[in-house]
Chains A and B, each alone.
Chain A
C-alpha cells in the first residue's frame, strides 16, 4: 500500500464509517441508561433496523423512507421491551436478550429475499468548494447525512442532559426513581420515552450499516456491534463526549483489522478481527478498575413499582 495523503484520507474515512453506527446506538443507549433502563437488546434492534431500512429502500427507492422505517422498527422493538420490563416488570437482562434472539431471527426472515441485492449507498453530501479541498475535503466533507447527524447528536445529547429541565428530570428518574416519583414526575412514562428514543437510535444505527457502511443485506451483519455499543456506554462513564471518543477509537481498531494486511501486519485475519472484542474487554477492565461503576446511574436496571 502506498502511503500517500489519499491513503490516509481513505483510512480516516473508513474509520468514520465504522464508528458511526457505534456512536448512534451508544448515544441512544446512554439516554436509556440515564433514565435507569438497561436495554441489552441493542444488537436485536440494530439488525432489525438494518434489514427494514434495506428492504424499504430497495422496494421504494427512497432513502428517506428507508431511514424512517428503520427508526420506527427500532422503536417498535423498544416498545415491546418497555412494555415487558416497565409495565410488566420482567427482568431487564432476560428481556434484552430475548429482544436480540428475536431480532436476529426476524431480520433473517425479512431479509431472505434481499440477499445479493445491490444498493449504491446513501448519497454523499458534497459541500461546494469545501469537498474539493485536498485531504480535508475528503476527510471532513464527503460523508452522508447520518455521519454529520451522529456528531451533531453528541453535542445535542450533552446539551439536553446538562442544560435542559427535561434532561435534569430524566437523570433524576435514573438516579432515584422513588424521589422523582414522590415529587410528581411520571417515572414509567419518562422511562418509556427514553427507551423508545434508544430504540430509534439503534434502528438508525442499523440503517447506517445496511445503507451506507456496507450497502447490502447479510445475515448477522451487525456482528456484535450492538454489544460493543453497550460496552462503549460503560467506557464513556455515561458521558456523550467520551462516547464520541470511544466510538472513533473502536472504529480505528475495526479498520486496523480491515487494513491490517495492507499495513504489512503479518497476522492471520482472524486474530485482527478479534481486536475490537478484545479491546472492549480491556477497556471494560480498565474502567471498572478506576470507576468501580460509580458513574452508573444509581437506579440502572432496577424495576420501579408504584403502589398507586
Chain B
C-alpha cells in the first residue's frame, strides 16, 4: 500500500518559504480552469478574462491600485499581530468604524473648504478603527477573552451601526430616502493622482506607511519584541517582554490601519457613506497577510494579486455572466493551497510502500 508520509526537516526550508506561495497560485489557477470548464466556459478564456484583461488598460491598472490599497494597508497591520500570535480577525469591523468616524467628520464639515478637513478625517478614521480594536485588546488583556471571537462579533455590530447611521443621523437630507449620506464635498475627497483613473492619494499614503512599518519591523526594539513573542513565548517572558503590551500595540496598530483603510474608501472611490462600503477587505486581508509571508514586500505583491481577484470577478460577471462570488471561491482556494503547500517548509514529503497489514 502506498502511503504519503511527512518527514521533519532538520531546519525550515527557506527556499520553500518563497516557493510555496507560487505553488499555491499555480494550483489555484489550475483549479480555476477546472471551475471554468465545469461551468461551461473555455478555461483559457476564463483565466484571461479573470486575471489578464482587467489590467490591460491604464484605467484597469488604476483600479488595481485602488483595490489593493485597503488590502495592503489592513494586511500589514494584521501581519504584525499574527507574528506575535495575536489574532485580530475583526479588521472588517474596524474598517467600518473608521469610515463611520472619519466619514462623519466629512458630513459635519460639508460646507467647509478648508484644507484641514481631509487630514482631520484621516485622523478620525484611524481613531475610529483604534477604538474598535481597543475593545478586544482590553477584553483579552483584562479577562483573557478570546480575541478571535470578540473582534469578529464586533464586526457584525459595526456593520449594523453603519446601517443605522446611513438610515438615520447620516442620511442625505436632500436625497430620496435612500439609506446613504450626501456626497462628500471636494475638500473631503482624496485627490486623484492620475487623470482618467480613480488612483488617489490613498495609495501613496499606503506605500509610505508600508515602508515605515518595514523599517519598524526590521530595525526597532518593538519589531524585535513582536518577533520573539510570537516565535518563542517562553524566551520573551524570560527576557521580560510584556505580552499585554504587545497585544495592545498590535491591536491598536491593526485597528488604526483598518480604520484608515475604511476612511480612504469612503473619501476615495466611494465618496459617500453607504450601507456596504467593503466587499470583505478586512477578511481578504487575512489571506493577503499569509500569502505575503507576514512581510511588507510580500504583502505588497499579495495585495496586488488579491486586488486582481476582485477585478477579475467583476470582469467575469460583466463579460461571461459568472457570479461575482467566484472571487471568494478563488480567494478561499488560494489560502487552502498556500496552507497545504506550507507543509513543505517544515517537512519533506515521502512516499513509502508497505503491506496493507502494516501498522502505523
Most chain A CB inside 10 Å of its own CB: which residue of B164, B290, B335: B335
Check: A151 CB closer than 8 A to any chain B CB.
no
In whole angstroms, how far apart are the Cα atoms of A91 and B287 in the complex?
13
Given contact pairs A227-B153, A277-B154, A288-B145, A94 touches B328 in the complex (Cβ within 8 A):
no
B323 near A284: Cβ-Cβ < 8 Å: no
A102 near B153: Cβ-Cβ < 8 Å: no
Check: A58 CB closer than 8 A to any chain B CB.
no
B146 near A234: Cβ-Cβ < 8 Å: yes
Check: A88 CB closer than 8 A to any chain B CB.
yes
B149 near A94: Cβ-Cβ < 8 Å: no
Closest chain B CB from A5 CB (angstroms): 33
Check: B188 CB closer than 8 A to any chain A CB.
no
Instruction: Specify which of A80, A90, A104, A280 is in contact with B328 (CB 8 Å cutoff).
Output: A104
B87 near A93: Cβ-Cβ < 8 Å: yes
A98 near B332: Cβ-Cβ < 8 Å: yes
Contact residues in B for A93 (Cβ distance below 8 Å): 87, 148
B328 near A273: Cβ-Cβ < 8 Å: no
Instruction: Specify which of A90, A97, A270 is in contact with B342 (CB 8 Å cutoff).
Output: A90
Closest chain B CB from A246 CB (angstroms): 14
Closest chain B CB from A157 CB (angstroms): 22
Given contact pairs A274-B156, A288-B145, A91 touches B339 in the complex (Cβ within 8 A):
yes
Given contact pairs A89-B6, A278-B153, A280-B153, A288 touches B146 in the complex (Cβ within 8 A):
yes
A284 near B149: Cβ-Cβ < 8 Å: yes
In whole angstroms, how far apart are the Cα atoms of A80 and B333 in the complex?
11
Given contact pairs A109-B329, A112-B323, A305-B8, A84 touches B340 in the complex (Cβ within 8 A):
yes
In whole angstroms, how far apart are the Cα atoms of A29 and B326 in the complex?
28
Contact residues in A for B346 (Cβ distance below 8 Å): 89
Could you mark each residue 281-308 of chain A with 1 if its beta carbon is under 8 Å from any beta carbon of chain B, else 0? Answer: 1001100110011000000000001010
B332 near A285: Cβ-Cβ < 8 Å: no
Check: A16 CB closer than 8 A to any chain B CB.
no
Given contact pairs A99-B332, A108-B328, A277-B154, A284 touches B343 in the complex (Cβ within 8 A):
no
Check: B315 CB closer than 8 A to any chain A CB.
no
Interface size class of B (residues with CB under 8 A): 35 or more
Given contact pairs A230-B149, A274-B157, A80 touches B336 in the complex (Cβ within 8 A):
yes
Contact residues in A for B327 (Cβ distance below 8 Å): 105
Instruction: Specify which of B160, B286, B324, B347 is in contact with A270 (CB 8 Å cutoff).
Output: B160
How many A-B pairs have beta carbons closer than 8 Å: the answer is: 143
Given contact pairs A274-B157, A292-B144, A102 touches B149 in the complex (Cβ within 8 A):
no
Could you mark each residue 249-290 of chain A with 1 if its beta carbon is under 8 Å from any beta carbon of chain B, else 0? Answer: 000000000000000000010110110011011001100110
Most chain A CB inside 10 Å of its own CB: which residue of B8, B146, B167, B326: B146
A285 near B139: Cβ-Cβ < 8 Å: yes
Check: A133 CB closer than 8 A to any chain B CB.
no
Q: Which of B272-303 contact A (CB under 8 A)?
A: 280, 283-284, 286-287, 290
Closest chain A CB from B305 CB (angstroms): 15
Contact residues in A for B347 (Cβ distance below 8 Å): 89
Given contact pairs A109-B323, A268-B168, A89 touches B145 in the complex (Cβ within 8 A):
no
Contact residues in B for A277 (Cβ distance below 8 Å): 153-154, 156-157
In whole angstroms, how far apart are the Cα atoms of A305 and B347 in the complex?
11
Most chain A CB inside 10 Å of its own CB: which residue of B87, B89, B157: B157
Contact residues in B for A176 (Cβ distance below 8 Å): none
Contact residues in A for B154 (Cβ distance below 8 Å): 277, 281
Contact residues in B for A227 (Cβ distance below 8 Å): 149, 152-153
Given contact pairs A277-B153, A281-B153, A281-B154, A307 touches B8 in the complex (Cβ within 8 A):
yes
B331 near A105: Cβ-Cβ < 8 Å: yes
| Closest partner residue, chain A, to B153 (CB atom) | A277
In whole angstroms, how far apart are the Cα atoms of A281 and B148 in the complex?
11
Interface residue ranges, A against B (CB under 8 Å): 40, 80, 83-84, 87-91, 93-95, 97-99, 101-109, 112, 186, 219, 223-224, 227-228, 230-231, 234, 268, 270-271, 273-274, 277-278, 280-281, 284-285, 288-289, 292-293, 305, 307
Q: Which 10 A-B pairs have the closest CB atoms?
A: A105-B328, A102-B332, A108-B325, A270-B164, A90-B339, A98-B335, A105-B329, A88-B343, A277-B153, A101-B332
The 15 sampled A-B contact pairs (Cβ below 8 Å) are A97-B283, A98-B287, A99-B332, A101-B283, A101-B284, A102-B333, A108-B323, A223-B156, A227-B152, A281-B153, A284-B149, A285-B139, A285-B143, A289-B143, A305-B8
